[in-house]
A = this chain, B = another copy of it.
Amino acid sequence: MIRAGIVGATGYTGVELVRILSGHPDVTLTVMTSTQYVGKEMAEIYPALRQVVQQPLEAFDPDRVGDRADVVFTALPHKLPMEIVPGLLDRGVKVIDLSADFRFKDPVLYERFYQPHTAPGLLEEAVYGLAEVFPEQVASARLVGNPGCYPTCALLPLIPLIQTGLIDSRGIIIDAKSGVSGAGRAPSLKTLFCEVAESFKPYNVGVHRHTPEMEAVLSRVAGRPVHITFVPHLVPMSRGMMATLYAPLKKDAGLGAVARAFQEFYGEKPFIRLMGQGGIPDTLNVRGTNFCDIGFVLDPDANRIILMSAIDNLVKGAAGQAVQNMNLMCGLDEKAGLSGVPYSL
């Protein structure tokens, strides 16, 4: 059994990790930390877990975590992970960080959008944990920077077409929509029920910090700088994320080539469900799962491909992909702990 720890177990991403790891057949969840709720049971914060998860929350201590875990998930706001991850690695623990701290190769880029990086020496080693795209690198990693939810949702449909050169990497537009849980559990006016219900709105237009993350990965895949136009929106629902992407199809490319590219990249991938030409994803269909559903439609008059991609922002967009990465890092079945039968409503 793999011994797993969660640093920051009480946010929405943390509790999703608790859920998945508690049901994982090859994992023992040995330690869960919290700043705010030390000594309490998870069920005091999330009563859904009564009689299911009964272990108390602890204060973070690198030795105590390092001794008791083989792999640690850091589910903290950015800035905190880079302070503790080096110490965890030193203690021989594998780390999957769910913040932005280890998603960038280039500290300058990170620092432009976040703050000074205190562990820049680890960036080169850290693997960007987009599990379907970089599986070998993840498998041999000590440290994984788990992708953001928007990047996961947008990069998965884009990369096959970028890498095969079927779309023009100039002219990519990502119109993305997220459920409210993406904003986290800290009380905030913006996520109050009465402010969100019957409200649909864009936010952080042109300035969202997932933009450089996506551009960096796409540029790496394309082998040249890629710019994207990215507009996120908030949807009045708890979970779910949809990206509608628009890109110019290359002249000689056609729908068949697009379908083949997806098939080659993802035909064997258990968590990508290809819906093909005309296939329309729906966030409800991936709710609570690690699936990414992808469909596409051609606008023939503009020779523009419309890609549609749906994930659960807390699962494939965070905790689920993190566990998928752990599975790869620990030599487990990629699907282990992630194959519950989906709810249909």
Contact = CB atoms under 8 A, between A and B. Distances in A.
Contacts of A137: none
Contacts of A128: none
A330 interface: no
Contacts of A171: 302
B238 A233 contact: no
Number of copies: 4
Contacts of A284: 48, 195, 197-199, 201
Contacts of A237: 197-200, 236
A229 B246 contact: yes
Contacts of A15: 344-345
Contacts of A242: 200-202, 233
Contacts of A239: 198, 345
Contacts of A173: 173, 246, 304
A205 interface: yes
B23 A340 contact: yes
A185 B194 contact: yes
Interface string A273-298: 10100101111111111000100011
Interface residues of A, number: 85
Contact of A189 (B187, B231, B301): B187
Nearest to A178: B200
A287 B177 contact: no
A315 to B, nearest CB: 10
Given A50-B293, A177-B233, A205-B308, 14 more contacts: A16-B344, A48-B286, A48-B344, A180-B192, A180-B193, A180-B194, A198-B237, A198-B284, A199-B282, A200-B237, A201-B281, A227-B301, A229-B299, A236-B236
9 contacts: A19-B344, A185-B192, A193-B236, A198-B283, A200-B242, A201-B280, A201-B283, A229-B246, A246-B246
